[in-house]
Structures are given as C-alpha cells and as structure tokens.
C-alpha cells in the first residue's frame, strides 16, 4: 500500500521540535521512498511504544494517525485510539508526541555508516532509500578483500593477517540485487531482509564448499543449505562468506585450519579463540553484520569473549543442527555472534524452531516467543537475583578477570539486580569442569554426516585415509592435524561409544542437577561467571557448564584488560560475562544481557579495520 498523505521525516528535524505548520506540510507531503507497508517490524519494547495500528511496527500509518490527532485530549470520546502515543502522559496529543513516536519509526535518511552498524540501523537506512542491500553487500565484500588476507594492518605485528574468511559467496551480489528488487515491489520479508551475514565453515551452504577447515573436504559442495542457513535466507539475509575455524572444531583456544591461522580483531599477534574464531574475528572487524558459529564446549562464547561480541549458546533442542559437520551431537548447537544483544536476538528469531530433520528440536516451535527482541528491556535486571559462581577466574587477585568481575557486580547492582556469591561450582559426577568425560560420538556422527551429505557409504575412516595418503605422498598435506591424530578420531568404534555413553549421560544430568540446585537454593533468576578464565589465551573451562547441561547461555562484553590496572600482558583485549539459566530461558537471558549492555556499553570497536572511505 502506498501512503501519499505523509512523507517520512528526518528524525533530526522531529527531535529539534516541529510546529503545526510543519505537521500540515507533512500531511500533504510526497510519497516515501518505500511505502509504509514496506517497513519492518522490530518488537523491542522501546520501538512498540505508541504503535497504533496493531501491525507490530511504527510506520507512516501510525504517524499519519497521530498527526491528524494533534489537539485531541483525554476528554474526547475516541481518546483510546491514540492514548498509547501520548508520550509525555499529559492527556493531550501534541507535536512533541509526534516527535517521540517518530523515534520508533525504522527510518533514517542521515548518511549511513558501516562501522559498528546493526540490523536496525541498516533497515532504517534502507527504508529511507539511502542504502541498498547491493551497496551494503559490496561494501562488506570490499572490506573482506581489503583486510582479510593483507599484511601490514597491525603495526605491532606487521607480518600477521586476519585470515578469518575461507571463501566469499560468488552469488552474493546477485542475491542482494534481487532482494532490493523484491523490497521495491512487495516489501521486505523481515527485519533481516538484505542483511549480509557470515557463516562458520562447518555449516552447509549451497553456494560454497563446507570444509570444517580441512582441505580433505575442499570438494564438499552440498546440494542444500543447512537448516539454519535456509532459515536466514528465508528471512531475506545474504550469506556473503564462510568463516574460518579450528579445524574440525577441535580447539576453543585458537582457530587454525588449512585455510589460515585466524588472528584476534584487537591485535593480530593474538588468538581469536575457537573454534568459531573466524566468525568472531570477522564480525568484530566489521566484515558482516553478524555471523553464525557452532558451540560444543564453548566455541561460540570463547571467541565472543575474546572479540568483544555477544554470543548465544541456545538450549539444546531450540536450533537445528541439520547440515552441520558434527563434533558431538549430544552437545553441538548453532548460535549467533553479533556486536550487539539486539542483533543476536534478531538472529535467534530466524534460527530457532522445530525441524523434522533434527528430532531434538521437536518442541522448539512451542517454546519460542514471537520475537526475542520483545525481551530487550533496559530495566530487565531490576529486582532480579543473580548468582555469581566464583573460582572461575584465571590468575591472581590482580588479574584482569577479578577487576572486571568486580566491575560487573557494581554494574549489575546499578541496573537494579542483587548479586549473590554462591561459591564455587565444585565437581559433578566426580569430575571437575576441566576433566568432564565426552560421549566418544565424533566418529559415529561424522560417518552419518559424510554418508548423508558428502557421498553415500563414505566414512570418517575413508576421509582419514585421504589425509594419510596426502601426508605420505610428499605433496601438500590436507590437514593441520597429524594424519595419526585424524586416524585416531576416525577409529572410535560403536562399541566404545556405547560404553562411554552411560557415564557421559550421568555427568550431563549431574551438571543439570547442580545448576538447578543453585538456582533453587538461592532463589536465582540466573547465574553469571566470566565467559573465559581471562582475556585472550585463557579460554578455561567455564563455558562447559552450559555445554554439558544443555542449558542456554549468553556471553556479553564485560570490559578490556588494562596494563595500568591489571597484571596482564594482554592490555586492550576484551573479556566477556556469561549469563546462564534454565532450559529455553533465552528471552530472559537476552533481557538481562541487554540491560547489562545498555548499562555498561563495554564493547568498543577495534581500530585496526577503519572505514575504507576514510
């Protein structure tokens, strides 16, 4: 529908104050670049205040209604039709109420800035017609070309390169152009329409090979996208590149593969964490709006901590793992990594849901909200009881982690929460966090993946033999791991797996019981702990609480190391704070993370990857 009765208004003009003459001009204004029905819904509470038409978005429809209601008072019979937009609560609709409502309209015709942009800012610019998806996609591809495989970026380590991207999508520009045409004719599909994103290279993509970082899978061109990628594309997102990882997702400390050694976005002399380090470094370096990682033991949250990102490990069963090269399907999950809590929540909106190809997600549709953005309330921590699990910081009392945790206590309390020290986590089923037993399912799960997506009947042992043959041929090797190591991974029998499962299962249940006990004993809304033992180089085992319980966790930036305040050799590198609670509590956790983020604004951009235009 085209609305010729009102033109979009520069937010700066509205905020400066508008008069009745201006209102009259607006009512008689020209058609906007995109019609009101072509704007998008963003269900964060602050963007719903004053919404009048019931379509879940503030747009020119709402502004037109309110403008024609200027002068209406609470004594009027039809007051209830506009009362929600009486921003100052004075019982009269004035131009100040119109100005307040305009702030919730996803429209901004100021010059667009790519650095640290987010989904909402992109949609505002696209709705205003000052940015297209084709332009934005080209900008990100240019940034990848300019920064990913180029030396001399970091003066401290001039020989190092970021090496976060394995491949770019050859069809990205065509997809962006098609999505722009779709927006112009039928409107955007969702708030993710035209958004360029990055995907870890163990998640199937139709347009690019899926290698898990091993050249032995360079020819793994799957005929379908993974379910998570399909969901993003269905919402209008564009996968512009595959991100590097620790080969076969085996390390949380680093992200080294046959496609490069990914470095940290805040200093190329340091590791980014793993195994989703390519996603972490590239999103932090502003090479895409947000990205996908996978998390088995901490592989979303460790690189999020080390690159000042928000990372979500969802409840096992909320997000499909179909089409993902596995490590341990009892613990594997896919999660978003973003520069803001809002973007992470919007990504999770697309990812969450039931998938018949992944049986554990059968109940997901019944537990996901209309939008996780509905939880993004800056007051979400008020009156909440947050339990701090102690003993998970690396180093002595002068280490960076202790200072940042003390600061987090103060920040949480300033946001209205009560923080309770619940003591150390202790052991579960006789194991400490660093020595928890695995399920020995890697071989089994890889066999199933290879048979389904690579070649019928092909096994992990066949793949290991390919690695061995290359290693003994005198030519280029196919893996950064030794052939013996890969053969060892591929040799676990089903009998060994079956024997390992009972103890693994008991440990999982003991982990859940311990979390439940803490939540009940202290009447907690969530628990917190540092996402990693320290900043870069200290992944530790904190992240295993979520990984082995299957409970959701959100990592959010907690601050940066500072050599003037800490005993550290990692000054200027970040560290995250992790929130964890009961299964399917992602909405609550995102609300807490958002309130903490808004209270602190701890993320600061890296200076190594400036705007190319600058």
Runs of H (alpha helix) within 431-478 = 442-449, 460-472
Please report the pLDDT score of residue 34 as a whole number. Answer: 36
pLDDT in tens, 299-321: 999 999 999 999 999 999 999 99
Other beta carbons less than 10 A from residue 473's beta carbon: 9
Q: Which of 41, 284, 299, 342 is catalytic?
A: 299
Please report the pLDDT score of residue 269 as a whole number. Answer: 97
Band the pLDDT of 614: cuts 50, 70, 90.
low
Q: What is the mean pLDDT of residues 559-564?
A: 96
Percent of the chain's residues with pLDDT above 70: 94
User: What is the rounded distance in angstroms from the CA atom of residue 109 to the CA atom of residue 102?
Assistant: 13
Q: Is the pLDDT of residue 24 over 50?
A: no
Please report the pLDDT score of residue 38 as a whole number. Answer: 56
Q: What is the mean pLDDT of residues 134-151?
A: 98
Band the pLDDT of 395: cuts 50, 70, 90.
confident
Please report the pLDDT score of residue 430 as a whole number. Answer: 97
Q: Which residues of 146-162 are buried (b: 16+ CB within 10 A; e: fewer)?
A: ebbeeeebbeeeeebbb
pLDDT in tens, 220-244: 999 999 999 999 999 999 999 999 9
Q: What is the mean pLDDT of residues 123-145?
A: 97
pLDDT in tens, 471-527: 999 999 999 999 999 999 999 999 999 999 999 999 999 999 999 999 999 999 999
Please report the pLDDT score of residue 20 as a whole number. Answer: 39
Longest dimension (CA), the chain: 88
Q: Which of 275, 304, 305, 538 is catalytic?
A: 275
Task: Report angle CA 572, 284, 167 to the nearest 5 degrees.
Answer: 135
Residue 397 and residue 534 in contact, taking contact as beta carbons nearer than 8 Å: no
State the average pLDDT for the chain: 93
Please report the pLDDT score of residue 485 as a whole number. Answer: 98
The phi-psi region of residue 116 (left if phi > 0; otherwise alpha if psi is between -120 and 50; otherwise beta) is left
User: What is the rounded distance in angstroms from the CA atom of residue 267 to the CA atom of residue 445?
Assistant: 36
Q: What is the mean pLDDT of residues 250-255?
A: 93
User: Which residues face 385 on adjacent strands?
Assistant: 418
Please report the pLDDT score of residue 564 as a whole number. Answer: 94
Is residue 156 within a helix (H) or strand (E), and if so which, with residue range? none
Q: Which of 57, 124, 200, 242 is catalytic?
A: 200
Query: What's the burial of 372, exposed, middle or buried (CB within 10 Å: 0-12/13-18/19+)?
Result: buried
Is 200 in the active site? yes
Residue 319 sits at φ, ψ, to 5 deg, of: -125, 135
Between residues 30 and 482, which one has the greater pLDDT? 482
Q: Any idea which fold 124-435+501-600 has?
A: Amidase signature (AS) enzymes (3.90.1300)
Residue 252 and residue 298 in contact, taking contact as beta carbons nearer than 8 Å: yes
Residue 118 and residue 289 in contact, taking contact as beta carbons nearer than 8 Å: yes
Q: Is the pLDDT of residue 133 over 60?
A: yes
Sign of CA dihedral 19, 23, 25, 29: positive
Band the pLDDT of 127: cuts 50, 70, 90.
very high
pLDDT in tens, 86-121: 999 999 999 999 989 988 889 899 999 999 999 999
Residue 340 and residue 118 in contact, taking contact as beta carbons nearer than 8 Å: yes
Please report the pLDDT score of residue 102 as a whole number. Answer: 86
Task: Report angle CA 23, 25, 30 to the nearest 5 degrees.
Answer: 120
Q: What is the mean pLDDT of residues 538-562?
A: 96
Question: What string of H, E and C letters represents the secondary structure of 499-523?
Answer: HHHHHHHHHHHHHHHHHHHHHHHCC
Q: What is the mean pLDDT of residues 456-473?
A: 98
Please report the pLDDT score of residue 31 as a whole number. Answer: 35
Is 493 in the active site? no
Is 242 in the active site? no
Residue 577: half-sphere exposure toward Cβ, Cα within 13 Å: 37
User: What is the rounded distance in angstroms from the CA atom of residue 352 to the CA atom of residue 569?
Assistant: 39
Band the pLDDT of 29: cuts 50, 70, 90.
very low
Q: Is the pLDDT of residue 374 over 90?
A: yes
Q: Is the pLDDT of residue 574 over 70?
A: yes
Q: Is the pLDDT of residue 26 over 90?
A: no
Residue 441 tokens read as: 């399912």
Task: Report angle CA 552, 358, 258 to the nearest 5 degrees.
Answer: 80
Other beta carbons less than 10 A from residue 91's beta carbon: 13
Where does the chain hold its CATH 3.90.1300.10 domain(s)? Answer: 124-435+501-600
């Amino acid at each position: 529908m085209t609305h010729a009765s009102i033109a979009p208004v520069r937010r700066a003009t509205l905020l400066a104050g508008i008069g009745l003459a201006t209102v009259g001009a607006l009512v008689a204004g020209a058609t906007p670049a995109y019609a009101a029905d072509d704007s998008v819904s963003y269900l964060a509470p602050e963007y719903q205040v004053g919404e009048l038409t019931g379509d879940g978005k503030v747009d020119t429809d709402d502004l037109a209604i309110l403008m024609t209601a200027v002068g209406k008072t609470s004594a009027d019979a039809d007051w209830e039709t506009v009362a929600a937009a009486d921003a100052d609560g004075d019982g009269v609709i004035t131009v100040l109420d119109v100005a307040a409502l305009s702030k919730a309209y996803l429209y901004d015709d100021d010059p667009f800035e790519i650095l640290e942009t987010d989904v909402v800012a992109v949609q505002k610019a696209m709705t205003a017609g000052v940015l297209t998806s084709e332009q934005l996609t080209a900008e990100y591809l240019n940034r990848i070309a300019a920064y990913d495989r180029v030396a001399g970026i970091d003066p401290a380590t001039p020989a190092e390169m970021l090496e976060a991207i394995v491949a770019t999508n050859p069809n990205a520009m065509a997809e962006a152009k098609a999505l722009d045409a779709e927006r112009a004719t039928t409107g955007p599909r969702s708030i993710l329409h035209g958004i360029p994103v990055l995907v870890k290279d163990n998640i199937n993509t139709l347009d690019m090979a899926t290698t898990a970082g091993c050249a032995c899978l360079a020819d793994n061109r799957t005929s379908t996208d993974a379910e998570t990628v399909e969901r993003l594309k269905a919402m209008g997102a564009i996968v512009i590149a595959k991100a590097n990882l620790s080969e076969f997702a085996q390390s949380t400390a680093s992200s080294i593969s046959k496609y490069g050694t990914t470095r940290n976005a805040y200093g190329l002399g340091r590791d980014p964490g793993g195994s989703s380090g390519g996603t972490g470094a590239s999103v932090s370096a502003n090479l895409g709006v947000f990205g996908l990682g996978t998390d088995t033991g901490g592989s979303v949250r460790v690189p999020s901590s080390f690159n000042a990102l928000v990372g979500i490990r969802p409840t096992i069963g909320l997000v499909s793992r179909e089409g993902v090269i596995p490590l341990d399907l009892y613990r594997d999950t896919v999660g978003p990594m973003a520069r803001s809590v809002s973007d992470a929540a919007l990504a999770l909106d697309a990812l969450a849901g039931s998938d018949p190809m992944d049986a554990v997600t059968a109940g997901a549709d019944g537990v996901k909200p209309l939008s996780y953005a509905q939880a993004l309330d800056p007051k979400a921590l008020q009156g909440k009881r947050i339990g701090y699990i102690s003993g998970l910081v690396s180093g002595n009392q002068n280490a960076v982690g202790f200072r940042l945790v003390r600061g987090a206590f103060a920040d949480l309390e300033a946001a209205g929460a009560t923080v309770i020290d619940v003591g150390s986590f202790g052991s579960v089923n006789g194991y400490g966090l660093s020595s928890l037993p695995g399920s020995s399912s890697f071989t089994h799960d890889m066999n199933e993946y290879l048979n389904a997506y690579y070649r019928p009947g092909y096994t992990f042992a066949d793949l290991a033999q390919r690695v061995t043959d290359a290693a003994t041929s005198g030519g280029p090797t196919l893996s950064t791991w030794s052939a013996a190591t890969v053969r060892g991974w591929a040799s676990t029998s089903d009998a060994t797996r079956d024997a390992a499962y009972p103890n693994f299962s008991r440990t999982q249940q003991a982990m859940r019981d311990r979390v439940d006990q803490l939540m009940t004993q202290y009447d907690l809304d969530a628990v917190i702990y540092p996402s990693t033992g320290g900043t870069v180089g200290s992944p530790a085992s904190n992240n295993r609480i979520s990984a082995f319980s299957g409970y959701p966790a959100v990592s959010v930036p907690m601050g940066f190391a500072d050599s003037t305040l800490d005993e550290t050799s990692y000054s200027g590198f970040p560290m995250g704070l992790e929130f964890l609670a009961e299964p399917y509590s992602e909405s609550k956790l995102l609300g807490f993370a958002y309130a903490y983020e808004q209270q602190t604004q701890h993320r600061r951009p890296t200076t190594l990857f400036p705007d190319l235009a600058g």
